[in-house]
C-alpha cells in the first residue's frame, strides 16, 4: 500500500503501548502521530489538531477517565470518518458486540500476533473495516438473541445491484475486487457504496456490514 497510514495509539499500559509503537514504527507505510493514555487525551488531541487527524485509532477499552467504549461513542458521533480498531484483553461476546455497536470497525485481542495486527491495520485502511469470522458470527448471534428485538427492515428499496455490492462488501472485498467481480468500474462501485450508506443511514462501511447481517442480507453459518 503506497499511502502512509496515520495512526493514534490509545492505551494506559505504557509498556504495552510503547511495544506496539515500536512494532508499527518499523513499517514503511505506517506512521504513529500521537499516543494517548485515555479517551480524554485522545479527544483533546483531535479537537486541537483538526488538520492532522489519523486514519486509524487503535483503542484499548479499560482506561481511566473516558474509557475506550465511551471514547468510541464520541468518535463515532463527532468524527465518523475516523476508523477505530479495538485492541483489548477482553474477548467476551458482550464486549465484542458492544464495541461493534458503538462504532468500532475491527476487534483484536491483545494476544494477537504482530502479523494479525498488521493485517488488520492494512485491511481497515484499504476496505474500511476488518471483521474476522469469529466477530461476524458474534454480530449475527447478538442480532438473533438480543433482548432488544431488532425488526427486520424493509430492504426492497435496495436495487439488485446494490445488494450484490453489499454482499461483496460483507465478504471483505476491496473496491477494485468488487468492480472485477461485477464487471463494472471502481467509480461505479463507489457510487453504489455511497447510495447504500445514504439509504441505510450508515455512517461507514462497518455500519453497512452490521445492517446487512441485521437484515439477513448476509447470512452466516453459526
pLDDT tens for 81-117 read: 899 999 999 888 888 888 888 889 999 999 999 999 9
Residue 192 half-sphere exposure toward CB, CA atoms < 13 A: 22
pLDDT at 143: 60
Residues across the chain: 222
Phi and psi angles of residue 61, each rounded to the nearest 5 degrees, phi first: -95, -50
State the pLDDT at residue 2. 62
Residue 123 binned pLDDT confidence (cut-offs 50, 70, 90) = very high
Residue 8 has pLDDT above 90, yes or no: yes
The secondary structure of the chain, three-state, reads CCCCEEEEEECCCHHHHHHHHHHHHCCCCEEEEEEECCHHHHHHHHHHCHHHCCCEEEECCCCCCCCHHHHHHHHHHHCCCCEEEEEECCCCHHHHHHHHHHCCCEEEECCCCHHHHHHHHHHHHHHCCECCHHHHHHHHHHHHHCCCCCCCCCCCCCCHHHHHHHHHHHCCCCHHHHHHHHCCCHHHHHHHHHHHHHHHCCCCHHHHHHHHHHCCCCCCCC
pLDDT of the residue at 37: 95
Rounded to whole angstroms, the Cα distance separating 85 from 130 reads 9
**Per-residue pLDDT tens digits for 126-184:** 998 998 888 888 887 776 555 444 444 555 788 999 999 999 998 889 899 999 999 99
Edge-to-edge order in the sheet of strand 30-36: 30-36, 5-10, 56-59, 83-88, 106-109
pTM, full prediction = 0.81
Quick one: pLDDT at residue 220?
A: 60
Amino acid at each position: 500500500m503506497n499511502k502512509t497510514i496515520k495512526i493514534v495509539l490509545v492505551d494506559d499500559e505504557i509498556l504495552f503501548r510503547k511495544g506496539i509503537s515500536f512494532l508499527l514504527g518499523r513499517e514503511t507505510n505506517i506512521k504513529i502521530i500521537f499516543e494517548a493514555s485515555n479517551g480524554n487525551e485522545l479527544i483533546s488531541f483531535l479537537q486541537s489538531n483538526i488538520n492532522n487527524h489519523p486514519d486509524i485509532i487503535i483503542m484499548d477499552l479499560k482506561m481511566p477517565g473516558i474509557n475506550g467504549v465511551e471514547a468510541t461513542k464520541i468518535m463515532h458521533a463527532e468524527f465518523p470518518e475516523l476508523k477505530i480498531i479495538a485492541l483489548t484483553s477482553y474477548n467476551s461476546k458482550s464486549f465484542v458486540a458492544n464495541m461493534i455497536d458503538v462504532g468500532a470497525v475491527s476487534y483484536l485481542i491483545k494476544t494477537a500476533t504482530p502479523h494479525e495486527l498488521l493485517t488488520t491495520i492494512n485491511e481497515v485502511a484499504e476496505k474500511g473495516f476488518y471483521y474476522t469470522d469469529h466477530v461476524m458470527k458474534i454480530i449475527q448471534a447478538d442480532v438473533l438473541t438480543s433482548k432488544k428485538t431488532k425488526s427486520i427492515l424493509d430492504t426492497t428499496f435496495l436495487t439488485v445491484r446494490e445488494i450484490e455490492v453489499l454482499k461483496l462488501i460483507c465478504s471483505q472485498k476491496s473496491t477494485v475486487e468488487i468492480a472485477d467481480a461485477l464487471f463494472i468500474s471502481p467509480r461505479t462501485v463507489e457510487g453504489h457504496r455511497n447510495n447504500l450508506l445514504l439509504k441505510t443511514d450508515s455512517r461507514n462501511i462497518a455500519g453497512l456490514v452490521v445492517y446487512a447481517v441485521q437484515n439477513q442480507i448476509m447470512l452466516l453459518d453459526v
